[in-house]
Amino acid sequence: MADGIGRADGAGEQAGAGRGYSRVLLAMLAFSYVLNVVDRQLVSVLAVPIKAELRLSDTELGLLGGLAFALFYTSLAIPIAWLADRWSRPRVIGIAIGIWSLFTMLCGFASSFVQFFLLRVGVGVGEAGGVAPAHAMISDNFPAEGRARAIGVYSMGLPIGSAARLFLGGWIASLWGWRMAFIAIGLVGLLFTPIFAMTVRDAAAARRKRDAEGLAEGDGEKGPSLRQAAAALLRKPSFLLLAFGSGFGSMAGYGLTFWLPSFASRTLRLPLMDIAHYGSLIALVGGVFGIWLSSWLGDRFGTRNRAAYAMVPAIAAVLIVPLYAAAMLNRDLVLALPLFLLPTILSVAWLGPILAAVQNIVHPSARATASALFLLVNNLMGFVGGTLIFGAMSDYFAARFGPDSLQVSLLAGLGFYLVSALLFALAARRLAADWAS
């Protein structure tokens, strides 16, 4: 292991898990990600009634959807992932689910911006332990040639969760108010926590035991320290390009995800239930199909040419810009569904291929740490940059464009996708050299 995290075969861990269990594991992890996304994004679909009751500005809403959540979500993700690599990935995820679900439920009792902000910080603390260990568990249980598809299935929790927070959040809020939406959805996560703990086992435990026994006898492989893992990754140009390319894409993606429900309400004059119905359909169909197609393309062409894992998302990011612009400039509700569906398909094209590429340039003992470092850049830029910048631009443009200020802000933010496409294209040129065989 020349650089501490240079190789990533992980075949020994895969052998211990049968195909049936691997599917159960993937389903459990995917559902945990659905809960993760719903709790993370629930503020966006309920932004209009929350803003009215608590008398918030768009900037404050952006802070609740971005900085409040990302503050500890990004900063704690790396040490928690490092702990998961050395202790127990399933236990870390199980504890995380319980924490973020509890704080989501408590958001339903917030009576001021400060209280809401602090409770959203608690949600972020919990979710810091959810995604990176899950990526590592999937890589432990699925071979490299099918890893993009497996991570793609897990990543379908993003569109499914986005659809669920739109439909369930809008439906519950329309019947019982926005507070009950937080309480009910948080309760689901608390009930799921013991089910997850009793079902999922740690495929990497045997490797850690072998390494510990080998070290005690003067033989065996010690996993890299957090500093070693980070230093080795930062020496790989493809990792930095993939991380910042995803970061700029997430600035646009998270910003649009958070603000499009408000755009539909203010500009298209849609009621909350219509936003929930149409938005959930677009997120579900477009997101699931987009992740499946891009993951399949990544594995299909990436086995022969590693650059495909970055070029598929790069092409998608370029095509998104004119398609989203056409959708947001449209005023015909009949055309709105297909116009928003196409860029939604492309907006998730990076998930399977890019996340699989990150997992394949590291040693198995550092997979969760590598994922956390990647997500640190991606989420810090996306959650903080996307939601806050879009909201601040909307407030800035309000004096000139009035009720259309949010639309102008969203159109301007599409430029982040072009920066993302450029960085992905540059990463494609370096990916083969950094790939761990």
DSSP letters, 87-122, are S-HHHHHHHHHHHHHHHHHHHTT--SHHHHHHHHHH
State both tokens at 206. Answer: 């045997």
Assess if residue 1 is contained within a domain.
no
- Distance separating alpha carbons of residues 42 and 120, to the nearest angstrom: 11
Decide: pTM greater than 0.75.
Answer: no
State both tokens at 318. Answer: 């370029």
Assess if residue 3 is contained within a domain.
no
Count how many residues are written for the chain: 437
Q: pLDDT: is 317 or 225 the higher one?
A: 317
Residue 351 is predicted with a pLDDT of: 79
Lowest mean pLDDT among 23-27, 130-134, 309-313, 364-368: 364-368
Mean pLDDT to the nearest integer, 310-329: 93
Please give the single-letter amino acid code of residue 315: I
Best CA proximity match to 363, nearest among 78, 6, 79: 6
Residue 72 vs residues 39, 125, 136, 250: alpha-carbon distances, Å:
15, 5, 21, 18
Best CA proximity match to 6, nearest among 214, 321, 221: 221
Q: pLDDT: is 47 or 337 the higher one?
A: 47
Query: What is the distance of C-alpha 379 from the center of its chain?
Result: 8
Q: Give the pLDDT confidence of 66-108 residue by residue, as tens digits.
A: 777 777 887 788 888 888 877 788 899 999 999 999 999 999 9
Beta carbons of 11 and 131 less than 8 angstroms apart: no
Assess if residue 230 is contained within a domain.
yes
What is the CB-side half-sphere exposure of residue 119 using CA atoms within 13 A? 21
Whole-angstrom distance between the N-terminal and C-terminal Cα of the chain? 12
Residue with the two structure tokens 């501490």: 4
Lowest mean pLDDT among 115-124, 209-218, 257-266, 404-413: 209-218
- Distance separating alpha carbons of residues 293 and 353, to the nearest angstrom: 10
- Distance separating alpha carbons of residues 38 and 379, to the nearest angstrom: 16
Assess if residue 333 is contained within a domain.
yes
Residue 274 confidence (pLDDT) above 60: yes
Q: Give the pLDDT confidence of 155-173 residue by residue, as tens digits.
A: 888 889 988 888 898 899 9
Assess if residue 214 is contained within a domain.
yes
Lowest mean pLDDT among 253-262, 379-388, 417-426: 379-388
Q: How many domains does the chain have?
A: 1
Q: What is the DSSP letter of 255?
A: H
Query: What is the distance of C-alpha 6 from the center of its chain?
Result: 25
Query: Mean of the per-residue pLDDT values for the chain?
Result: 83
What is the CB-side half-sphere exposure of residue 398 using CA atoms within 13 A? 11
Angle made by CA atoms 335, 341, 344, in degrees to the nearest 5: 145
Assess if residue 5 is contained within a domain.
no
State both tokens at 373. Answer: 């470092």
State both tokens at 165. Answer: 């927070």
Residue 392 is predicted with a pLDDT of: 87
- Distance separating alpha carbons of residues 40 and 50, to the nearest angstrom: 15
pLDDT band of 65, cuts 50, 70, 90: confident
Strands (E), 149-290: none
pLDDT band of 211, cuts 50, 70, 90: low
Assess if residue 2 is contained within a domain.
no
Best CA proximity match to 323, nearest among 252, 396, 225, 244: 252
- Distance separating alpha carbons of residues 252 and 246, to the nearest angstrom: 10
Residue 2 confidence (pLDDT) above 70: no
- Distance separating alpha carbons of residues 374 and 230, to the nearest angstrom: 10
Residue 427 is predicted with a pLDDT of: 93
Assess if residue 54 is contained within a domain.
yes
Query: What is the distance of C-alpha 62 from the center of its chain?
Result: 18
Q: At 289, which helix (H) or strand (E)?
A: helix 272-302
For residue 399, count other CB atoms closer than 10 A to its CB: 8
- Distance separating alpha carbons of residues 415 and 421, to the nearest angstrom: 10
Phi, psi angle pair for 202, to nearest 5°: -95, 105
Q: The domain spanning residue 92 has which CATH number? A: 1.20.1250.20
Mean pLDDT to the nearest integer, 136-155: 82
Identify the domain containing residue 206 by its residue range: 11-434
Best CA proximity match to 329, nearest among 397, 263, 272, 417: 263
